């Protein structure tokens, strides 16, 4: 019986470490075995064994000959099955497709999760040069347009606390910006997450008027400079309002 209990504990520990590996790669983009082993505080051979099991199932993949790993395409079907259960993706996807077609840029829907923004749906425009595939990707809240929209709702007018995932530096300025986001109904991110990447986002409300998601349009800065971001912002806000209407929200007056 003792061996069985120890075996179960070891199995649970392995699952926990494998999940941590996926979260680390989601956060860092790509990482080597030694780096991941150090982050998990395990021997390099243990990290290598876990990565091998994840790689067999397509959940991670090696980056060329550099010996680093990143998340694999095997996660996309899993994320898709979860997204299908979310009403906001069911109601929002046709709107995303229309907006992507109109603007020629990538459109995403993100929801909040433990201090992060998680991209649960995506539509791509016809442009030959598109932005990164954001579907299923976890992104920060403080320097992304979607994250700011979600953070503004989380903090609220009563000045609620920012989650621990937000860096301590610059919090006062961020809170001031979130006040402006709530007042204006949209948020911008101009090369804050990545150099050369701009985005604008608007809130999506449920039937009770609570912000449950953010709709964003993102693209390379040379195609989406601040001037164009300003021009398309009303269209992004209108698309967010349309998804909100489909979610049952009715704005009176």
More reliable by pLDDT, 2 or 236: 236
Residues 186 and 201: their CA atoms lie apart, in Å, by 6
Residue 96, pLDDT > 90, answer yes
E-assigned strands of 46-170? Answer: 60-63, 68-71, 106-113, 116-123, 138-139
Which residue, 127, 113, 22, 12, is CA-closest to 72? 22
Q: Where are the domains of the chain?
A: 2-72, 82-246
What CATH topology corresponds to 2-72? Arc Repressor Mutant, subunit A (1.10.10)
Write down the pLDDT at residue 28.
84
pLDDT category of residue 129 using cuts at 50, 70 and 90: low
Q: What is the pLDDT of residue 190?
A: 97
CATH 3.30.360.10 corresponds to the domain 82-246: no
């Amino acid at each position: 019986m003792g061996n069985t209990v120890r075996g179960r504990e070891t199995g649970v520990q392995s699952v926990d470490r494998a999940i941590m590996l996926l979260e680390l790669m989601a956060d860092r983009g790509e990482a080597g075995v030694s780096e991941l082993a150090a982050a998990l505080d395990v021997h390099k051979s243990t990290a290598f064994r876990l990565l091998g099991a994840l790689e067999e199932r397509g959940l991670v993949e090696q980056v060329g000959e550099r010996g680093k790993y990143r998340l694999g395409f095997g996660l996309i079907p899993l994320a898709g099955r979860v997204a299908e259960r979310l009403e906001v993706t069911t109601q929002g996807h046709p709107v995303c497709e229309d907006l992507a077609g109109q603007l020629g840029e990538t459109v995403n829907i993100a929801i909040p999760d433990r201090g992060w923004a998680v991209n649960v749906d995506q539509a791509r425009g016809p442009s030959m040069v598109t932005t990164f595939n954001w579907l299923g990707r976890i992104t920060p809240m403080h320097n992304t347009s979607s994250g700011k929209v979600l953070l503004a709702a989380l903090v609220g007018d009563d000045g609620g606390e920012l989650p621990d995932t937000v860096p301590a530096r610059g919090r006062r300025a961020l809170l001031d910006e979130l006040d402006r986001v709530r007042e204006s109904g949209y948020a911008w991110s101009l090369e804050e997450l990545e150099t050369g990447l701009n985005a604008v986002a608007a809130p999506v409300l449920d039937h009770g008027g609570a912000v449950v998601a953010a709709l964003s349009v993102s693209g390379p800065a040379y195609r989406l400079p601040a001037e164009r971001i300003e021009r398309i912002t009303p269209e992004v806000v209108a698309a967010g309002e349309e998804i909100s209407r489909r979610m049952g929200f009715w704005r009176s007056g």
